[in-house]
Chains A and B, each alone.
Chain A
Amino acid sequence: MLLPAPIQDLIDAFSRLPGIGPKTASRLTFYLLRAPENLSVDLAEALQVLKSGTGFCQRCYNITAAERIECEVCSDDERDKSVLCVVEEPLDVLALERTGGFRGRYHVLQGALSPIEGIGPDDLKIRELVARLQSEEIREIILATNPSMEGDATAMYLRQQLAPLGVRITRLARGLPMGGDLEYADQNTLLRALAGRQEMDN
């Protein structure tokens, strides 16, 4: 059966989203077709302003409202300006903010190095990070890239680039996940947990 164009168009649009196959795309489309009008209207409005209403913080490259030059974290005077946490994506900022355990500021790279996919240093906000180190009074850089091959590559590259600038560089501890069993851990995780062992002080 040939579907009317508006239906097929929406199915095609949904199918282009990550994690959504043609089946799910059809299901979502027909759900919207039957659902009350305001659901579609709200969705359409939200989509419309998603891009136009947001932008990147000109300091840390986190996502922020379009009318702001700097994000909420960067413009918060209570935050410690001397500690910078470097993350891959804006969602990582969100995760760290939820912990409430970090009072410094961020720098969002907008990705991670991937030699095979062809994502190199110039594709990330690395030059911008180096510039911040030269213009801001930064004491410590915390590398909080993911514990993946790409995250490791990015952290090593940053360490190499930042070391000559004489700033303290730390990396998030890598080791066993909370609630995990030792016997299920892979060798690399175990090696790192062992290397990063800590004194039991109380």
Chain B
Amino acid sequence: MPPQERSTRAEGVILRHSDLGEADRLLTIFTRELGKVRVLAKGVRKARSRKAGHVEPFTQAQLQLAHGRDLLILTQAESVAGFAALREDLVLLGYASYVIELLDRSTYEEESNRALYDLLVRTLTRLNRGDDPNLATRYYELRLLDFAGFRPQLFNCAQCESEIQPEDQFFSASRGGVLCPRCGGREPETRPISLHALKYLRHFQRSSYREAGRAAITTAQYQEMENLMQYYLTYTLERGLNSPAFLRRVRRENGKIS
């Protein structure tokens, strides 16, 4: 192969890194062009590395990747957005970790998805500029579920398909949506869902981010939405995520409810 074909340019967000050998790191990057890839970054743990700061987790960077025998190898990196605020505040760092972990766990390697990439960058940008993290994160979850093929059914009963009436209902992860009081009462594994939480989840599901931001949602309502999403995501991902525990803890210890 001619040399120019052995090298690829891509833009990506660094999801995670792990140490390898003496001074190398193995990076997991969600790229716009190639989807999720694993990349070997040589020498980036050395204090003098030129690339290190450009490939820290949460960073969006322009990358030059060479095709090694087993792995892609990072040859150049230049950060586009460092999202500095996400690393200066423990709670925001927790939210960003959650966003990143959720993306990592919902995607397979080398499946490119530009819309999902844009969603990730937009979400990190929103958190970084100080938007309400509840709004940014809940909106992200609902969009991500669309891309991952797990869009929850929120308008008709996921069992009998009758239209959901404005009253408190049940939510079933295994049925993939809301159940009417009649069906929900018969299912063993369900969670109650209040009228308000359902209303706002629906609103987020079919609105733009700007429109979603206009809703006056209370902390308690956000909390219920969060718990429901955690329950549903744990089911669809077949395993709990690590970052929610961290996030809950730092929020509690920070004395903040948001």
Mark A residues whose CB is within 8 Å of B: 18-19, 113, 115-118, 120-121, 148-149, 152-153, 156-157, 160-161, 177-181, 184-189, 191
Whether B21 pairs with A18 at a CB distance below 8 angstroms is yes
Minimal Cβ-Cβ distance residue in B for A183: B50
B6 at the interface (CB under 8 A from A): no
Contacts of A117 in B (CB 8 A): 16, 242
Interface of A is mostly: loop
How long is the Cα–Cα vector from A18 to B18 in the complex, in angstroms? 11
Whether B82 pairs with A118 at a CB distance below 8 angstroms is no
Whether B249 pairs with A149 at a CB distance below 8 angstroms is no
Whether A156 pairs with B22 at a CB distance below 8 angstroms is no
Contacts of B19 in A (CB 8 A): 18
Given A157-B90, A177-B48, A180-B48, A191:B84 Cβ within 8 A: yes
How long is the Cα–Cα vector from A189 to B19 in the complex, in angstroms? 21
Whether A177 pairs with B47 at a CB distance below 8 angstroms is yes
20 A-B Cβ contacts within 8 A? A18-B20, A113-B246, A115-B97, A115-B243, A116-B16, A116-B101, A116-B242, A117-B242, A121-B249, A149-B57, A152-B88, A153-B87, A156-B89, A177-B49, A186-B56, A188-B79, A188-B87, A189-B53, A191-B82, A191-B84
Contacts of A187 in B (CB 8 A): 79, 81-82, 84
Task: Return the 9 tightest CB-CB contacts between A and B, nearest first.
Answer: A19-B21, A186-B53, A118-B242, A115-B97, A115-B246, A188-B82, A187-B82, A115-B243, A184-B50
Mark B residues whose CB is within 8 Å of A: 16, 19-22, 24, 47-50, 52-54, 56-59, 78-79, 81-82, 84, 87-90, 93-94, 97-98, 100-101, 104, 242-243, 245-247, 249-250, 253-254
CB of A66, distance to nearest CB on chain B (Å): 27
Contacts of B53 in A (CB 8 A): 185-186, 188-189
Given A18-B21, A160-B90, A115:B84 Cβ within 8 A: no
How long is the Cα–Cα vector from A113 to B87 in the complex, in angstroms? 13
Given A18-B21, A116-B242, A186-B54, A149:B82 Cβ within 8 A: no
Contacts of A115 in B (CB 8 A): 93-94, 97-98, 101, 242-243, 246-247
Contacts of A149 in B (CB 8 A): 56-58, 87, 93
CB of B91, distance to nearest CB on chain A (Å): 10
How long is the Cα–Cα vector from A23 to B242 in the complex, in angstroms? 34
CB of B247, distance to nearest CB on chain A (Å): 7
Contact among A156, A177, A181, A185 for B90, CB-based, below 8 A: A156
Whether B87 pairs with A152 at a CB distance below 8 angstroms is yes
Contacts of A113 in B (CB 8 A): 246
How long is the Cα–Cα vector from A148 to B97 in the complex, in angstroms? 14
How long is the Cα–Cα vector from A179 to B50 in the complex, in angstroms? 10
How long is the Cα–Cα vector from A47 to B250 in the complex, in angstroms? 40
Contacts of A118 in B (CB 8 A): 242, 245-246
How long is the Cα–Cα vector from A9 to B118 in the complex, in angstroms? 48
Contacts of B59 in A (CB 8 A): 186, 188
Whether A120 pairs with B22 at a CB distance below 8 angstroms is no
Whether B48 pairs with A178 at a CB distance below 8 angstroms is yes
Whether A179 pairs with B98 at a CB distance below 8 angstroms is no
CB of B25, distance to nearest CB on chain A (Å): 10
Contacts of B93 in A (CB 8 A): 115, 149, 152-153, 156
Contact among B20, B58, B88, B249 for A19, CB-based, below 8 A: B20
How long is the Cα–Cα vector from A149 to B19 in the complex, in angstroms? 13
Whether B104 pairs with A116 at a CB distance below 8 angstroms is yes
CB of B129, distance to nearest CB on chain A (Å): 15
